[in-house]
């Protein structure tokens, strides 16, 4: 279960980084924005790995011998993408008004990686529903906290959080491949 917690923290760094950006740009109604971001990000980060898990279960029979390599490649690609994106400005720079539609788009955009990472759950000895719920809850907490931190400190931590999450995902990929 420790692996799932580490995976959840790493996956939530995308949402955390976006939440920091949202909090730093939108100073009004911070508590409403924090709950809204946490709800959207937490829900989608919890559901998308389940979709990846179910898809991975269907493919697992065909590629059982290569499953750890596929998980490794997916996690390295996702982690590399997060590290790359940490060096560029986030999408929240262009958002003038936060609506439910905007939050839906942001939540889906930040959770697509979690769907691919959900495949790795097929290789771990965990209940996928519990794991996905845990990923959602941890993302909820980090997203809520991200808005509040962004509101107080600006965007300083935004890229660092995303970079750290990418590094952790790559390390998890190596662990799956080697052990």
Inform me whether the pLDDT recorded for 24 exceeds 70.
Answer: yes
The mean pLDDT of 31-43, rounded to a whole number, is 95
Name the residue with tokens 């491949």: 177
The structure's pTM equals 0.78
Name the residue with tokens 């719920």: 133
Rounded Cα gap, residues 52 and 67, in angstroms? 13
When comparing pLDDT for 176 and 130, which is higher? 130
Among the residue ranges 32-36, 92-96, 158-162, the one predicted with the least confidence is 92-96
58-72, 90-104, 109-123 — which one is most confidently predicted on average? 109-123
15: CB partners within 8 A, 6+ apart: 37, 41, 42, 45, 107, 110, 111, 139, 142, 143, 146
Q: What pLDDT is attached to residue 130?
A: 95
Rounded Cα gap, residues 113 and 7, in angstroms? 12
72-113 pLDDT tens trace: 888 888 888 888 877 876 555 556 678 888 899 888 888 888
The 3-state DSSP composition of the chain as helix, strand, coil percent (nearest 5) reads 85, 0, 15
Domain residue ranges of the chain, discontinuous segments joined by +:
2-174
Can you read off the two tokens belonging to residue 69?
A: 């390599």
Inform me whether the pLDDT recorded for 127 exceeds 70.
Answer: yes
- Categorize the per-residue pLDDT at 44 as very low, low, confident or very high, splitting at 50, 70 and 90: very high
Note the Cα 154 to chain centre separation in Å.
21
* 174 CB neighbour count, 10 Å cutoff: 12
């Amino acid at each position: 279960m420790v692996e799932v917690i580490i995976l959840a923290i790493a996956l939530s760094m995308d949402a955390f980084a976006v939440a920091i950006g949202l909090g730093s740009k939108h100073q009004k109604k911070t508590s409403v924005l924090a709950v809204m971001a946490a709800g959207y990000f937490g829900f989608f980060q919890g559901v998308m790995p389940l979709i990846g898990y179910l898809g991975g279960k269907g493919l697992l029979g065909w590629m059982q011998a290569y499953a750890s390599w596929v998980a490794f490649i997916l996690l390295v690609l996702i982690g590399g993408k997060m590290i790359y994106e940490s060096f560029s400005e986030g999408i929240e720079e262009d958002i003038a008004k936060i609506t439910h539609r905007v939050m839906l788009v942001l939540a889906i955009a930040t959770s697509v990686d979690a769907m691919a990472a959900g495949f790795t759950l097929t290789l771990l000895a965990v209940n996928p529903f519990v794991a996905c719920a845990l990923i959602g809850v941890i993302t909820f907490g980090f997203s809520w906290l991200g808005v509040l931190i962004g509101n107080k400190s600006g965007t300083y931590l935004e890229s660092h959080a995303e970079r750290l999450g990418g590094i952790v995902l790559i390390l998890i990929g190596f662990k799956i491949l080697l052990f």
